[in-house]
Amino acid sequence: MAAPKFITNSTSFHTELKTRITEYFKEAETASTGNYKLFSKAIILVVSFLAVYTHLVFYTPVWYFALVESIILGGLTASIGFNIMHDGAHGSFSKYPWINKLAGLSLNFLGANVFMWNTKHNVIHHAYTNIDGIDDDIDARPFLRLCDSQKFLKMHKYQHIYFWFAYSLLYIYWIFFTDYKKYFTRMVGSMPLKKMTTSDHISFWAFKVIHFCTFVIVPIYFIGFTPWIIGFLVYGMFAGVVLSIVFQLAHTVEEAHFPVPVANKIEEDWAIHQLKTTANFATRNKVISWLVGGLNFQIEHHLFPKISHVHYPEISKIIKSTCEEFGVIYIEHRKMRDAIASHINHLRSLGQLNQGRLPAYHRLDVNLKHNIELGENTTLELTAGVTNSYNRDNIFYFDRVKFERINQLPILPSIGVNLRF
């Protein structure tokens, strides 16, 4: 699928928004990158991760403490990804590029690959949010149906129940399968992967080996296979749930839109598109904000990905007031449980065969009518018309079982004669 284009509005909301955010940082006399709050958080997370890993592997706690520590390690993995890797990969962790690169490489140490992430997330997801067939983040097929345009399967009737298990597999599936799939196919979904340099190839394989040794070979050597596999599954599955739910609450909720391109165009400004496809949650909860790296301020992040998350609480006030002024939607759930409920309702709705919406379409119909007066009370009415006068794609029916659009006739002509007396 070719990447669609967005319309450009010369007096756009986005232009005004960028102006106001720029003015904020000038008046505050502060950089838009990370500050001491982010750097101290990064140190706390990394030291905590190393301490828990060391105690788990080399000091072998009793099984119930080991399970608790495995869960904590999974949570720290997700939090390092949210706070350090995510800001680093977007170039917002520090004003120094080498520090951003180092922060981004934390993803490689945790088993994934920042090169693949940059294409999948920074390039594709941020540009084409919630566009099915392009945004790989909403492709969980065949297990989950996340938008109307995806094919319905019978098992989706229960997806609002089993999604927790599906999400728990994300991290393990990511580091042991999807990275390799992208590497060998050179594709991220339907989009081509950027050409890798020699250093990119070396980095990919070197970090995969380091991760395998650190999280598989070394633990098995010190604690044995059975304790390792139990601990690793608990660790990986908890990390998967946390990673998945944070990103899904931002885009796959009841209020979010899933635009379908028409003639390979999205008929709205890019910034408006981001606001229609993105949602905030629990922004007043400082604990959640700290742990998830400000990704509960997902609107702010999508509009200004180069700004560090430590600034989101302040710039959110500007963005929200600007949205109100321009009459632009701003989707927000005040509590995390409200966002989870909305996500579950979204999954439940898409699990019903007849609950989806038809894909967007347009057409041009032409009709002509002529009256001939045959007498004082007698009129002959002649009509001729063409339904869908220029595009075959605009006459179709929808197969609800396969969830496929079937295009039909290029035009639908009609003629009529009506005698009134």
**Residue at 240 is within a domain:** yes
Question: What's the pTM?
Answer: 0.84
In the listed set 324, 350, 376, which residue is the last one of a domain according to the structure? 350
Is the domain of 26 the same as that of 63? yes
Say yes or no: 13 and 150 in one domain: yes
β partners of residue 383: 369, 416
* Residue 175 and residue 201 in one domain: yes
In a domain, 393, yes or no: yes
| Separation between Cα atoms, residue 264 and residue 5, nearest integer Å | 7
CA distance 356 to 38: 42
Locate tokens 């041009």: which residue? 364
Q: What is the pLDDT of residues 349-376, one digit of tens each?
A: 999 876 555 555 566 778 888 888 888 7
State the pLDDT confidence band at 416, using cuts at 50, 70 and 90: confident
Q: Does 341 share its domain with 392?
A: no
For residue 387, the enclosing domain spans 366-420
Domain count, the chain: 2
My answer on whether 397 and 264 are in the same domain is no
Secondary structure in 3-state letters for the chain? CCCCEECCCCCCHHHHHHHHHHHHHHHHCCCCCCCHHHHHHHHHHHHHHHHHHHHHHHCCCCHHHHHHHHHHHHHHHHHHHHHHHHHHHCCCCCCCHHHHHHHHCHHHHCCCCHHHHHHHHHHHHHHCCCCCCCCHHHCCCCCCCCCCCCCCCHHHHHHHHHHHHHHHCHHHHHHHHHHHHHHHHCEECCEECCCCCHHHHHHHHHHHHHHHHHHHHHHHHHHCHHHHHHHHHHHHHHHHHHHHHHHHHHHCCCCCCCCCCECCEECCCHHHHHHHHCEEECCCCHHHHHHCCCCCCHHHHHHCCCCCHHHHHHHHHHHHHHHHHHCCCCEEECCHHHHHHHHHHHHHHHCCCCCCCCCCCCCCCEEEEEEEECCCCCEEEEEEEEECCCCHHHCEEEECCCCEEEECCCCEEEEEEEEEC
Mark whether 346 and 370 lie in a shared domain: no
Residue 360 in any domain: the answer is no
Q: Are residues 277 and 134 in the same domain?
A: yes
By mean pLDDT, which of 17-31, 137-151, 387-401 is the weakest? 387-401
Residue 357 placed within a domain: no
Greatest CA separation found in the chain?
106
Determine, yes or no, domain membership for 355. Answer: no
Tell me: do 61 and 174 sit in the same domain. yes
Chosen domain end from 302, 325, 350: 350
Q: Determine how many CB atoms are found less than 10 A away from the CB of residue 386.
A: 15
- CB neighbours (10 Å) of residue 306? 11
* Together in a domain, 52 and 82: yes
Per-residue pLDDT, 243 = 97
- Whether residues 221 and 272 share a domain: the answer is yes
Q: Are residues 315 and 397 in the same domain?
A: no
Tell me, yes or no, whether 356 lies in a domain.
Answer: no
Tell me if 358 is assigned to some domain.
no
The pair of three-digit structure tokens given for residue 44, joined into one six-digit string: 């706390």
**Rama region for 301: left / alpha / beta (φ>0; ψ in -120 to 50; rest):** alpha
153 domain-assigned: yes
In whole angstroms, what is the distance from residue 49 CA to residue 69 CA?
10
Q: What digits encode the pLDDT tens for the residues 79-109?
A: 999 999 999 999 999 999 999 999 999 999 9
- Per-residue pLDDT band for 174 (boundaries 50, 70, 90) equals very high
For residue range 303-344, list pLDDT tens digits in order.
999 999 999 999 999 999 999 999 999 999 999 999 999 999
- Which of 297, 317, 350 is the C-terminal boundary of a domain? 350
Q: Do 317 and 284 form a contact (C-beta atoms < 8 A)?
A: no
The mean pLDDT value for 139-143 works out to 94
Verify that 389 and 346 share a domain, yes or no.
no
